[in-house]
């Protein structure tokens, strides 16, 4: 039963940070929130019995994608003025 | 309760991530946010694939010494989707990196990250029909 | 010689990596590009037909292991293909050979018209060749998805490598669409994987043909079909993606555009064959195919009329021509499908001819705006006549190949009881002819404007050579269509 509770907490974290990432105006926060979504998906992979995929996803989704986004933001602009 | 099934919940999450991503791709104006939304679509699809191979109450599909083979075959998760997702994650990351590189070039040209701004410049040329 | 099958994919990849290694050394790059460009068509000719299992993992049923327990031999697992399988058929041979010719000729014009050859551009050309060859060879849906994504990245790269105006905007737009289209295709593949437990196309089509009768799985299959169909539309540039595809063609340099259109044509063929093999029994398949083809033909020609940029005009015309290929599959039956695929080969060669031929105009004047051009027939009469003949081949004037394939499609439409379609095909051909002749007049025959400046004095010989070779091939295929139609119909007969 406690597995389900952990799963629901992770799902809520993942989805909320995904939605927040699209709402925030500070792009650096957006990059960090997308990283949280990536890590959340990786944890879901772990719970779904795919540990090797979780390892890859935690590196790609949790580190590489936010760092790339942050580098691009550093080279461009930090504020979403749209 | 049927809603508390692990596979169903993750399938729901995958669908939600795909919908959030498609929403971002259509409605969000800022290009970097749009691209991050596109990476959510990728993650959603990957989650969908993995949850299809899930086996309730099963084990990780790695055959350890001392395991009974027959028991392992019936109880392990299906490994083929997991092998596919590894490739898919890497493809998603490389697409993401290339899109960011293009955005950095476009920022130098327009001084803005707004999609509308860039498309407006394009239609000024009479290029789009 | 079945061992050579993977080499069709591996050799271009190795060439691409080598070219990157020797970036900056002009002579070595040219030598490698020429050797591989000539070697690839030859390789397709000497390779024997058959299947290649990567890693040697055959299906258990064909590996003849003695003494397997009955719970394995009776299960479906016994017949599944565990490895990535490449199957080299006469059909694949025709298309890869044609691709080899297109790549060789466009490389020839590229290496002769540019002073300095760029390693990254050649890298992308060879990588693209490898990826579309793999698409048409592969018998494994996930493998096709991977190469589909690589092809999308390569197409973006070729646009970026060109010096056209606003190429980065087009590249970004194309990438955004590709990262929606790619995952949707993957989702469709995943649903098939969930139904059948395998990503091998032979296994899937076997499973689907038994499942299609039950109403519950029919709905799921329909969903998978629509997702894969969407991915196919994106990959081939049929509507609603015709605008982005044609702007992709027009933003690349002429020699890049040849490769781009060959790549999207081969991805169209590869995916339509897969969809046909898996979902061919669906009633919806034929209707969707015919509908999308007619929309493509009408939109392609009607949008080509209003273009002032002749590169965009050819791009829209070539999108319109893609509709004929889909129509062959929509009509169904061996003859119609053969006609559609034959039209595919013709379209690839003729569009290459037009892109290279009219690329010479861009080379001379550095503009592709028909309003600023005129009187170019005085520059090189032979080239102008060859371009006109190429346009005739595209519109379907005898004795060229376009006439043969369009006649076959008209015949197929009449015999399968759709005379309306035959009328539409003839009308579209006439419209194509008019559009082409009109822009030919404005570019070559109209009096030359005073402010027209020439950046180069004469057309390089390699361009004339390439166009002449393509024209001769068009003529040969028009006179002896059996060269292409016999192997294709032989292969389609095996699929039906």
Cα atoms in the Cβ-side hemisphere of radius 13 Å centred on A75? 16
Does one domain contain both C261 and C287? no
B105 contact partners, CB below 8 Å, separation of at least 6: C168
Segments making up each domain of chain B, as ranges = 2-60+73-125
In a domain, C367, yes or no: yes
b/e code C254-290 from CB counts within 10 Å (16+ = b): bbbbbbbbbbbbbbbbbbbbbbbbbbbebeebbebbb
Per-residue pLDDT tens digits for C380-435: 888 899 999 999 998 888 889 989 999 999 999 999 888 999 999 999 999 999 99
Distance CA C96, CA C35 (A): 17
C440 contact partners, CB below 8 Å, separation of at least 6: C384, C387, C388, C391
The alpha carbon of residue C371 and the mean position of all alpha carbons in its chain are separated, in whole angstroms, by: 31
- Number of compact structural domains in chain C: 2
* Helix, strand, or coil (residue A12): helix
Give the gap in angstroms from C-alpha B127 to the nearest C-alpha of chain A: 25
Contacts of B10 in chain A (CB under 8 A): 7, 11, 44, 47-48
* Fold (topology level) of B2-60+73-125: Helix Hairpins (1.10.287)
Does one domain contain both C257 and C296? no
- Residue B126's pLDDT is 43
Does one domain contain both C252 and C303? no
Helices C283-305 and C419-440: crossing angle in degrees, nearest 10, is 20
CB C148 within 8 A of CB C134: no
Determine the structural domain holding residue A18 and report its residue range: 2-75
Per-residue pLDDT tens digits for C245-286: 888 888 888 889 999 999 999 999 999 999 999 988 888 888
Nearest to A48 by CA among B55, C444, B5: B55
- Residue C155's pLDDT is 92
Q: Answer whether the bond into residue C306 is a cis peptide, omega within 30°.
A: no
- Residue B70's pLDDT is 80
Contacts of B76 in chain C (CB under 8 A): none
Per-residue pLDDT tens digits for C18-55: 888 887 778 888 888 888 888 888 998 988 888 888 88
In a domain, A11, yes or no: yes
Per-residue pLDDT tens digits for C42-92: 998 988 888 888 888 888 887 777 777 777 777 777 778 888 899 999 999
- Number of compact structural domains in chain A: 1
DSSP assignment of chain B: -GGG-HHHHHHHHHHHHHHHHHHHHHH--BHHHHHHHHHHHHHHHHHHHHHHT--TT-B-S---TT--HHHHHHHBPPHHHHHHHHHHHHHHHHHHHHHHHHHHHHHHHHS--BHHHHHHHHHHTT---
C191 contact partners, CB below 8 Å, separation of at least 6: C220, C223, C224, C227
State which of C265, C297, C317 marks the end of a domain.
C265
Chain B nearest-CA residue for C182: B42
Per-residue pLDDT tens digits for A13-44: 999 999 999 998 899 999 999 999 999 999 99
Q: Is B98 on the interface with C (CB under 8 A)?
A: yes
In a domain, C82, yes or no: yes
ipTM exceeding cut-off 0.90 for this assembly: yes
Does one domain contain both C140 and C33? yes
Q: Is pLDDT of C485 > 70?
A: yes
C171 contact partners, CB below 8 Å, separation of at least 6: B102, C156, C159, C160, C251
In a domain, C124, yes or no: yes
- Residue B2's pLDDT is 61
Does one domain contain both C261 and C320? no
Q: Is pLDDT of B125 > 70?
A: no
Residue count of chain C: 496
Contacts of A75 in chain B (CB under 8 A): 104, 107
In a domain, C482, yes or no: yes
* Helix, strand, or coil (residue A26): strand
Q: Is C179 on the interface with B (CB under 8 A)?
A: yes
Give the gap in angstroms from C-alpha B100 to the nearest C-alpha of chain C: 9
Determine the structural domain holding residue C384 and report its residue range: 282-496
Give the gap in angstroms from C-alpha A56 to the nearest C-alpha of chain B: 7
């Amino acid at each position: 039963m406690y597995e389900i509770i952990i799963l629901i907490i992770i799902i809520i974290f993942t989805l909320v940070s995904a939605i927040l990432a699209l709402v925030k105006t500070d792009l650096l926060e957006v990059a960090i929130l997308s990283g949280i979504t990536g890590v959340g998906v990786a944890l879901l992979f772990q719970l779904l019995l795919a540990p090797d995929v979780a390892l890859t996803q935690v590196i790609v989704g949790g580190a590489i994608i936010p760092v790339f986004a942050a580098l691009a933001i550093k080279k461009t602009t930090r504020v979403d003025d749209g | 309760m049927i809603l508390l099934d692990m596979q169903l919940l993750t399938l729901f999450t995958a669908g939600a991530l795909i919908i959030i991503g498609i929403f971002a791709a259509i409605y969000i104006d800022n290009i970097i946010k749009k691209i991050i939304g596109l990476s959510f679509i990728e993650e959603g699809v990957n989650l969908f694939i993995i949850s299809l191979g899930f086996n309730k109450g099963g084990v990780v599909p790695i055959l350890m010494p001392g395991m009974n083979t027959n028991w392992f075959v019936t109880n392990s998760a299906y490994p083929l989707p997991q092998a596919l997702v590894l490739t898919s994650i890497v493809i998603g990351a490389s697409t993401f990196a290339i899109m960011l590189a293009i955005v950095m070039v476009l920022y130098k040209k327009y001084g803005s990250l707004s999609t509308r701004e860039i498309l407006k410049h394009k239609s000024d040329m009479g290029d789009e029909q | 010689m079945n061992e050579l099958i993977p080499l069709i994919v591996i050799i271009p990849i190795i060439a691409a990596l080598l070219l990157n290694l020797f970036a900056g050394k002009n002579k070595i790059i040219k030598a490698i590009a020429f050797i591989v460009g000539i070697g690839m068509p030859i390789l397709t000719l000497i390779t024997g037909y058959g299947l290649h299992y990567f890693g040697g993992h055959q299906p258990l049923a064909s590996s003849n292991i003695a003494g397997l327990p009955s719970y394995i031999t009776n299960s479906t697992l016994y017949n599944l293909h565990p490895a990535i399988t490449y199957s080299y058929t006469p059909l694949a041979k025709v298309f890869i050979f044609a691709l080899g010719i297109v790549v060789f000729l466009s490389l020839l014009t590229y290496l002769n018209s540019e002073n300095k050859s760029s390693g990254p551009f050649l890298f992308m050309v060879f990588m693209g060749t490898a990826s579309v060859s793999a698409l048409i060879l592969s018998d494994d849906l996930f493998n096709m998805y991977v190469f589909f994504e690589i092809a999308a990245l390569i197409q973006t790269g070729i646009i970026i490598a060109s010096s056209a105006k606003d190429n980065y905007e087009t590249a970004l737009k194309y990438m955004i669409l590709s990262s929606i289209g790619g995952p949707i295709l993957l989702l469709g593949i995943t649903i098939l994987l969930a139904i059948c437990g395998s990503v091998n196309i032979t296994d899937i089509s076997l499973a689907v043909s038994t499942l299609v009768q039950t109403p519950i799985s029919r709905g799921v299959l329909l969903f998978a079909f629509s997702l894969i169909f969407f991915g196919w539309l994106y990959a081939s540039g049929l509507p609603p993606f015709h605008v982005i595809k044609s702007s992709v063609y027009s933003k690349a340099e002429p020699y890049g555009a040849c490769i781009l259109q060959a790549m999207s044509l081969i991805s169209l063929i590869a995916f339509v064959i897969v969809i046909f093999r898996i979902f061919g029994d669906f009633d919806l398949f034929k209707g969707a195919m015919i509908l999308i083809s007619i929309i493509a033909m009408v939109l392609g020609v009607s949008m080509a009329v209003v273009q002032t940029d002749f590169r965009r005009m050819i791009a829209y015309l070539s999108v319109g021509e893609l509709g004929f290929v889909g129509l062959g599959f929509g009509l169904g039956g061996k003859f119609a499908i053969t006609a559609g695929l034959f039209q595919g080969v013709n379209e690839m060669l003729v569009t290459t001819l037009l892109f290279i031929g009219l690329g010479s105009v861009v080379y001379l004047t550095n503009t592709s705006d028909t309003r600023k051009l005129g009187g170019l027939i005085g520059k090189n009469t032979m080239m102008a006549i060859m371009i006109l003949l190429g346009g005739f081949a595209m519109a379907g004037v005898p004795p060229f190949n376009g006439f043969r394939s369009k006649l076959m499609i008209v015949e197929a439409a009449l015999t399968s009881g759709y005379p309306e379609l035959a009328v539409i095909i003839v009308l579209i051909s006439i419209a194509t002819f008019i559009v082409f002749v009109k822009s030919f007049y404005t570019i070559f025959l109209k009096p030359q404007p005073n402010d027209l400046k020439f950046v180069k004095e004469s057309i390089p010989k390699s361009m004339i050579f390439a166009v002449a070779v393509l024209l001769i091939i068009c003529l040969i295929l028009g006179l002896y269509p059996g060269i292409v139609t016999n192997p294709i119909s032989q292969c389609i007969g095996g699929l039906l």
